[in-house]
Amino acid sequence: MGGMRNYLTEYRHELQRTFTGTSGTPPEWVPRLADGNDAGYHLPGSAVWAVHGHVATIVAGIRVLLMQALHPGALAGVYEHSGFQKDPLGRLANTVRWIFTVTYGSTEAAEAATARVRKIHERVRGTYLDGLGVEREYAANDPELLRWVHVTYADSFLTANRIWGRPIPGGADAYVREWAAAGRLMGVVDPPLTEAQVRDELEHWYASGILRADERLAETVSFIRNPPLSPLLAPGYRILFAAAVASLEPKYRDLLGLRAPQVGPVPLPAVTAARAVLGMVRFALGSHGPSELAARRRLQRLGYAEA
């Protein structure tokens, strides 16, 4: 019994270290989500809280990295300017910080977190070849690239939630409509407000010929497939990666050079295997994360009955 308890503790600490850069105690920004003088952009019972509060977001995160890499401008910015290969977990922790701050923080906290990201983006510039062989300039704060990131995010989080998550209050359109606030914060002009609009925009990009499969994409996909994780997490991650690949539309899998996978000698379908891994993660971390609990403390202080 003690051995199992020690294993779960170590497993939980590795999960925390991977997602936030710290273990045992939350990173310094999490308790500060209890500060602030307003409700922020999202409340308990919202579509955003329902989606982002579920462990299916782990598969969504893998899926969105794969989707975003298909745009050679977005990939060039990450490949040439970020430390994703030298410090992938640090980059992941920064992304998690922004998502959770916009999800659970006050308006002031969400805007400050976004300003930090946009300031980092200011120096991310260069050129890339699109899928038609045309050389284009890119900038991380360019509305077109921001839109691609935002739309692939919404599509991936909805897809993962539909397969492994839970019902969304108000349905998928409510999530797209609510998370549009995050898009506007980042500089997306008139972000989509329905799931149908998200899908239409993805179809437009696919048909445009801009998306590109090349050696840089193959190298990035290989890295996402095998990141430098703790041996404790690596087996489960392989299953979640396979699940993310299985959730992609075939045309995007083809561009990425991936095949619909199955897991194990049986073989066990990736979707089913991922459900077991996500159940383990939920058991280790608990049903309510520290970011949500900090937000509820702020809302209770401000008199919100639902908190």
In single-letter form, the type of residue at position 24 comes to G
How large a percentage of the chain has pLDDT more than 70? 93
pLDDT of residue 268: 62
pLDDT of residue 123: 87
The mean pLDDT of the chain is 91
pLDDT of residue 86: 66
pLDDT of residue 3: 66
Lowest-pLDDT range of 90-99, 105-114, 232-241:
90-99
pLDDT for 83 beyond 70: no
Three-class secondary structure of residue 269 per DSSP: strand
pLDDT (tens digit, 9 = 90+) per residue, 113-140?
999 999 988 888 999 898 999 999 988 8
pLDDT of residue 266: 45
Length of the chain, please? 307
Lowest-pLDDT range of 64-78, 111-125, 249-263:
249-263
Confidence of residue 25 (pLDDT cuts 50, 70, 90): confident
pLDDT of residue 306: 75
DSSP 203-232: HHHHHHT-----HHHHHHHHHHHS----TT
pLDDT of residue 79: 76
Of the candidates 156, 170, 34, which has an alpha carbon nearest to the alpha carbon of residue 100? Answer: 34
Higher pLDDT, 6 or 65: 65
Q: Which of 19-23, 155-159, 282-286 has the highest mean pLDDT?
A: 155-159
Q: Rounded mean pLDDT of 94-105?
A: 96
Does the global pTM surpass 0.75?
yes
pLDDT of residue 9: 87
| Other Cβ atoms closer than 10 A to 298 | 23
pLDDT of residue 121: 87
DSSP 98-130: HHHHHHHS-HHHHHHHHHHHHHHHTT-EEEEE-
pLDDT for 148 beyond 70: yes
N-terminal to C-terminal alpha carbon distance within the chain: 36
pLDDT of residue 264: 56
Pairing, β 268-269 against β 262-263 = antiparallel
pLDDT for 265 beyond 70: no
User: Which token pair is 191?
Assistant: 């972000």
pLDDT (tens digit, 9 = 90+) per residue, 282-307?
999 887 889 999 999 999 999 997 76
Q: Rounded mean pLDDT of 140-150?
A: 92
Confidence of residue 235 (pLDDT cuts 50, 70, 90): very high
Alpha-helical regions (H) of the chain: 2-20, 47-52, 57-68, 72-81, 88-104, 107-121, 143-164, 171-186, 195-208, 215-225, 234-246, 250-256, 270-285, 290-301
Of the candidates 252, 183, 255, which has an alpha carbon nearest to the alpha carbon of residue 212? Answer: 255
Q: Rounded mean pLDDT of 192-215?
A: 96
